[in-house]
Each structure stands twice: as structure tokens, then as C-alpha cells.
Structure 1
Amino acid sequence: MAKNSYFQFKQFTIHQDKCAMKVCTDACVLGASSELGNSKRILDIGAGTGLLSLMTAQRYPFAHIHAVELDSDAYLQAVDNVAASPFSGQISLFNTAIQEFVPAYQYDSIISNPPFFQSDLLSPDTQKNQAHHSTSLTFNDLLAAIDRLLTDQGQFHILLPKDESELFYQKAKTLGWFMTNNLTLQHNKDKKPFRRIMTFGRSYLSENEIDNTVLNIYGENNKVYDPEFVSLMKDFYMIF
């Protein structure tokens, strides 16, 4: 997906010139695919441009969403994107670290596209490091925040690179979380998976009860979009 200064969706626009994390296909899949049921209170950890919050607001018009973003430039960009959208009444934004965020209540669902590189070389760009690397939010910190902020019956949805996702899964499992859904994202059926969207809750599920799904972005030869991808994104992408 091109890194333009803005990305036009059917019902809102994401300006991204001040934010290190640009609109990307995998984040859009997270926003379109996460099943939040009857959640009335939803938390977006690491809001970036506000993309996930806006997609969630479009899909769940009766939910109220709190979006937490540490980086001041990204936060201000998200504020502008939300204010210019039809969903501004549903979304409240907070410029703080999730470790220091103390709301008045817990959340029915949490979504997150967190900084994920646990061991890759850092960039000279501090803003990019904060957005892409876990220098400001480790997996342990994230899981502790989720445990504190999610209701006992709630679920959280997280997007990670394939390799990093296994590390996160093992940490979550050790802390008593159970995976309920596992969506693997790949460019096409002949390519290796590159992203994974996992859903966790506190209720036990055996391995054979987990809903495992593979989503291809493209069909054969990368010339057309896969029909399942089109079906998932048709309410958001202008090209469908």
C-alpha cells in the first residue's frame, strides 16, 4: 500500500504525514476482521493515525471507543482524522502511555497494532523506533495493561508479524490467556505468511477449538484480489 500523505476510505480519510505508522493492508484487515460482538466499550492501544478506531466505529455504531497514543504528533493527527470523520462522537483520544492510562472502567474488547520488533536493529529515527520497536511498550507491558483494562469476559485482538506472534503467544499462554481465533495473512497461497491476527480471552479453549483461518490478499500471480479479501474490505476500500 502506497505511503501517501493521506488514504481515502469510503466513509473517512486518514491523513498520515505526521505519523510514523502509515496505513497498511494488515492493519486494515485487523480493523475489518476483529469480531467485537456486543461490545459497548472498546479500547484501541497504540492508535497511531486513528485508523483502527475509525474502522471499529464504522462497524459498531453503538460502541464508544477510547484510543490511546503515546506519540504526540501521531495523537494530534488522530485527533484531526477523527474530528473530520462522521464518527467523532464515538471516539475519545488520549495522549499517554498505556502503562499510565487509568480510565473509569474496564473494556469489553481491546484491539492493538503494537510496536512489535523485539530484537531488530533500531533506526536513527526516534519516532519510527517508538512506532515499530518495543522500546516504549514491551509485550510484558502490553499484556499487563490488557489484564488490568479488560473485563473478565472480554477479548483482545492483536496484529503481529508471523515470527513475533509466536513469542507473544507463548508469553500470553504463560500468563493464563487462551487464543480463540487465529487469522494468518499472506500475499497469496504460494507466499509465506507475513502477519497474524490473534484473539485471546480468559476462558479455556483446547487447540482443536481455535478458529484458524488463512486470508490471501491476492489470487494467482498477484494480478487480482482474492474474493475473500474483497468481501472483507468492500465496506472500506474505494476500489471495491
Structure 2
Amino acid sequence: MFRFKQFTIRQERAAMKVCTDACVLGAWADVGDGGRLLDIGTGTGLLALMAAQRNTSAQIDAVEIDADAYAQAVDNVADSPFAGRVRVHHQAIQAFAALSEHQQQYGRILTNPPFYTNQLRSPDAAVNRALHTGDLPFDDLLSAVRQLLRPDGQWWILLPPYEMKVVTTLAQSYELYPFHQLDLRHHAQKPVFRQVTGFSFAEKPIELHELAVYETDGRTYTDAFRNLLRNYYLIF
């Protein structure tokens, strides 16, 4: 169980647990003001609930293919103050995107997708689904975003640097272009281990940022990280 200031994430049934980089995505991404927001692969419902806390009038759809994670997200949303604005769907995003009622409806889309491709797979099918791209290849993800995002919308995604480079290259064929990137490091002397990138349909210069989670002692949170997560983490 992970307690935040305004909601609680229970995660015993979900393969993908709460992690620091996902929390950074939820706190950093531009979630807009009002409108409709989509969380692709919601897992426990973490990103949907973080977005609901920041965007106080958004209607949010959260899509999850895994049955146990879906059930966990439903419970977490129901127990939150945002239950009236967040709806969880047990569906593959490919099928969800094919429904005309959803197409070009979302001003913001958030994604913390599986990214392993050829690495050793787990005997646990739920872990494989959460971590490996088999159920959601990057081309399928980009196709879904292309169908669902409004012409003036933004798509925000979290990936390791190599996979982000792959997605950025593929995205051009879907007319999606990066405009904002955050490089995330454990501390200033460590390499970048995750990137948060915002995409839109407009080509423009990319805005670059960097964030270290810890000071160089590896234990003390940086002021920048504290300020980013202050409205979520109980310890801040």
C-alpha cells in the first residue's frame, strides 16, 4: 500500500507497483485544465488519480488490459475523492481506440508503457504484460494515440532513453513530434535512466529539462524533487 496526501494506492494484485519515475511523470506532465484525459495502461490507477488531483475538473478514462490490475484500479479509484471523474476500462487500448466515440476526444494522454522487448521474460504472465511490449508494441501505441488525441492535444510518455529514441523516431510517421523532454537521474553524477517526453501534432523546438531525485549522497532528496512531489508525498 502506498499512501499519498489525497488518495491511497493498493497494489497487491497489480504487477506494476508504484515507482518514483511514474510519480515524476504524473507530477511533471501537463495535464491541462478541464477537458478529457486518458491514461493508457493505468495499472493501479496511479497516473489517473494524480492527474485528477491536479486537473480538478477533467473527466478521465483509464484503460487497463490485465484483469487483476483493472480490478485493483477500480478499487483505488472508488476509494479516492475523484471517483466521480475517473472511469476505468478493462480493455486493450487497440480496441478502445477503434471505437469512434473515443477518437480525437482527449486533450491530454498519459502513458507509462511496457518497454522490454527481448529481455528474459518472467514465468508470471501479469509481470510480462506489465513490463514487455508483446501486448502493446510501440506501433500499436502510436496508432492509438494518433486516433485518440485531439488536434491541439498533448501526449506524455515515460521511457528509458533508448526506447524513447525509438518511439521518437517512429512517432514522426504518425505526425507526432516531441516538444518537451525531462531527463531523470538518480543523482547529478548518474546517467539518465528515464525520460518524460511530451508530444504534439505541431513541430516546434523541444524544451529540455533535467531532474535529479537525490543529492550526490544518494539519500537526500533534492529540493527540485521535493517541490515537484510536495502535493503528493506524505514525507514532504
Instruction: Please give the range of the TM-score, normalised by the shorter of the 2 chains.
Output: over 0.9
1:235 to 206, 231, 236: 231
Gaps of 5+ in 2: none
Q: 1:185 Cα shift?
A: 0.5
3-state secondary structure, aligned to 2:183: strand
Q: What aligned pairs does 1:38-77 form with structure 2 within 5 A after superposition? A: 38-77=33-72
| TM-score where L is the length of structure 2 | 0.96
Matched, 1:83 2:82: no
Is the 2:66–2:126 contact (alpha carbons within 8 Å) kept by the matching residues of 1?
A: yes
Q: What aligned pairs does 1:69-218 form with structure 2 within 5 A after superposition? A: 69-101=64-96, 102=99, 104-105=101-102, 106-205=105-204, 209-218=205-214
- CA deviations 1:12-31 (Å, max 9, x no partner) are 10000000000000000000
Q: 1:103 Cα shift?
A: 6.0
Gaps of 5+ in 1: 1-5
3-state secondary structure, aligned to 1:194: strand
Is the 1:118–1:164 contact (alpha carbons within 8 Å) kept by the matching residues of 2?
A: no
Matches of 1:103 and 1:91, distance apart in 2: 20
- CA deviations 1:163-220 (Å, max 9, x no partner) are 2111111111233211010001110000011001110000111xxx211001000012
Residue in structure 2 matched with residue 3 of structure 1 by the alignment: none
Matched, 1:222 2:231: no
Letter in 2 for 1:84: D
3-state secondary structure, aligned to 2:134: coil
Q: What value does the CA root-mean-square deviation take over the aligned residues?
A: 1.0
Task: Provide runs of 4+ in structure 1 moved above 3 Å.
Answer: none
Q: How many residues align?
A: 232
3-state secondary structure, aligned to 1:200: strand
Matches of 1:187 and 1:94, distance apart in 2: 34
Q: 1:143 Cα shift?
A: 0.2
Seq. identity, % = 46
| TM-score where L is the length of structure 1 | 0.94
Matches of 2:100 and 2:127, distance apart in 1: 27
